[in-house]
Amino acid sequence: MPELCLVCWAILLGLAQACPEACDCGEKYGFQIADCAYRDLEAVPLGFPANVTTLSLSANRLPALPEGAFREAPLLQSLWLAHNQIRTVAPGALAPLAHLKSLDLSHNLISDFAWGDLHALHALQLLKMDSNELDFIPQDAFRSLNALRSLQLNHNRLHALAQGTFAPLTALSHLQINDNPFDCTCGILWFKAWTLATSVSIPQRDNIACSSPHVFKGTPLARLPPLPCSVPSVQLSYQPSQDGAELRPGFVLALHCDVQGQPAPQLRWHIQTPRGTVEIASPNVDTDGRALPGALPRFRAFANGSLLIPDFGKPEEGTYSCLATNELGSAESSVNVALATPGEGGEDALGRRFHGKAVEGKGCYTVDNEVQPSGPEDNVVIIYLSRAGNPEATVVKAGGPEQRLPSLLLLGQSLLFLLLLTCACF
């Protein structure tokens, strides 16, 4: 047994004294240091002592940092990787380094960076990523870096920054972000306001300047004039036309989403039916309503915000939502559509729900022909199809009287727009 213990101690001692052949390892000021700088290395070497706390790999020819690159050195507190040729930092390359306090990745070619690895570096105080090819930073990139004091992002290719990017950095005292080609549109205004209000030291402010649009090229961000910007707003609406039309099975359902905002928001539809979920992120038909090449859409989305569903039936019942997004935020409006035949089970729970509220004296009531809400409720439209031989088409307002549904002319076709209930009902 004593012999076995001696063997174990010998192995442990050998591990403690291990060092890659290309590096110099030793102790200095109480830190275990591995110096591998200026060695023309093209990969992170193997064989580091497990207790190494400082590792320098600067001025080599490393092209990338793969997953587990520093698995042998879990106690690292300082990692220096400047002046290499690193283009990619793979997920899992840095995440195991929970004790890391200083990380220098400056003067590389990094365009693909595993931002998620930063979430594990809670002890990090210095992060140098300047002089790279970074063109994007996720909004939550720094969410776990509560101890970070200095951040260097200057001389990259950043065009924009998501609002709140630096909010988690409660200990930050120094930020360098000059010499990036910022796009000075509405989305950058929050950053301008933040730089003017923060107590963080930001050197070379005049070099935090606009690259586009051309009219602002070279203008320091701090002197950017006010811009006409507004968050998106959306409204699902109907537009009545000819009265007296009869609604029969197989009609065309048409919804229109009116979108406002500056810059012009991007519109998309989210449709939830018994058959599943449909997402439409761009128009899938041309201005004449014909499907674009390669598309056979069941739901026809136009560039003007209209949505058409030909031969509307039970399978198309559900929730129709339009969502608008621009640099400043997003907005959404939804309507629930139900199809029923008077006197049949199609009305069921949805119809009885609102008729019952009307009998109880609840729901919507009118004042000067305007529908007034009496409580919170979803927007709901119930469409009544005519019976065979007795055509009749009505829309039931929650708790209100029945009204004959008008037809519409849209894009040269006779279409029906739903009356979207803006009232709220108990």
Residues, the chain: 426
Q: Cα(383)–Cα(272) distance, rounded to whole angstroms?
A: 17
For residue 420, pLDDT over 50 is answered with no
Quick one: pLDDT band at residue 397, thresholds 50, 70, 90? very low
Specify the pLDDT at position 111. 97
- Compare 373 and 118 and report the one with higher pLDDT: 118
Specify the pLDDT at position 296. 64
The contacts of residue 64 (CB under 8 Å, 6+ apart) are 86, 87, 88, 89, 90
Looking at residue 406, the DSSP 8-state letter turns out to be P
* Percent helix, strand and coil across the chain, each to the nearest 5: 15, 30, 55
For residue 241, pLDDT over 90 is answered with no
- Compare 120 and 231 and report the one with higher pLDDT: 120
Average pLDDT, integer, range 364-387: 39
Q: Cα(180)–Cα(188) distance, rounded to whole angstroms?
A: 13
DSSP 201-230: B---GGGSBEEESGGGTT-BGGGPPP---E
Structure tokens at 256: 């229109």
Residues 312-357 pLDDT 10s = 788 888 898 999 998 888 999 988 887 765 544 444 444 444 444 4
For residue 9, pLDDT over 90 is answered with no
Q: Which residues face 26 on adjacent strands?
A: 33
- Compare 383 and 7 and report the one with higher pLDDT: 383
Tally Cβ neighbours within 10 Å of residue 367. Answer: 7
The contacts of residue 7 (CB under 8 Å, 6+ apart) are none
Specify the pLDDT at position 253. 80
Residue 329 Rama label (left phi>0; alpha psi -120 to 50; beta): left
Average pLDDT, integer, range 407-421: 32
Quick one: pLDDT band at residue 161, thresholds 50, 70, 90? very high
In the chain, what percentage of residues exceed pLDDT 70? 71
Specify the pLDDT at position 312. 79
Looking at residue 118, the DSSP 8-state letter turns out to be G
For residue 388, pLDDT over 50 is answered with no
Specify the pLDDT at position 31. 86
Q: Which of 336, 337, 349, 316 is nearest to 378 (CA)?
A: 336
Q: Cα(326)–Cα(2) distance, rounded to whole angstroms?
A: 72
Quick one: pLDDT band at residue 396, thresholds 50, 70, 90? very low
* 106 within 8 A of 79, measured Cβ to Cβ: no
Specify the pLDDT at position 415. 32
DSSP 25-92: EEEETTEEEEE-TTS--SS--S---TT--EEE--SS---EE-TTTTTT-TT-SEEE--SS---EE-TT
* 321 within 8 A of 229, measured Cβ to Cβ: no
CA separation (Å) from 41 to 44, 53, 84, 282?
Answer: 7, 20, 9, 49
Q: Cα(102)–Cα(362) distance, rounded to whole angstroms?
A: 65
Least confident of 102-116, 215-229, 303-317, 394-408: 394-408
Residues 100-145 pLDDT 10s = 999 999 999 999 999 999 999 999 999 999 999 999 999 999 999 9
CA separation (Å) from 251 to 100, 267, 329, 383, 387?
Answer: 65, 25, 36, 11, 14
* 339 within 8 A of 309, measured Cβ to Cβ: no
Average pLDDT, integer, range 230-236: 88
For residue 422, pLDDT over 70 is answered with no
Report the predicted TM-score, pTM, of the whole model to 2 decimal places: 0.67
For residue 67, pLDDT over 80 is answered with yes
Sign of CA dihedral 279, 281, 287, 291: negative
In the chain, what percentage of residues exceed pLDDT 90? 52
For residue 198, pLDDT over 70 is answered with yes
| Side-chain half-sphere exposure of 405, counting CA atoms within 13 A | 28
Q: Cα(394)–Cα(406) distance, rounded to whole angstroms?
A: 9
Per DSSP, the chain holds a count of helices (H) and strands (E) of 3, 28
Residues 72-95 pLDDT 10s = 999 999 999 999 999 999 999 999
Specify the pLDDT at position 364. 33
Residues 245-295 pLDDT 10s = 444 556 778 888 989 998 889 999 999 998 899 898 878 888 777 777 766
Q: What integer best gives the mean pLDDT of the chain?
A: 78
CA separation (Å) from 296 to 6, 285, 299, 316?
Answer: 76, 9, 9, 16
**CB-count exposure of residue 310 (10 Å: 0-12, 13-18, 19+):** middle
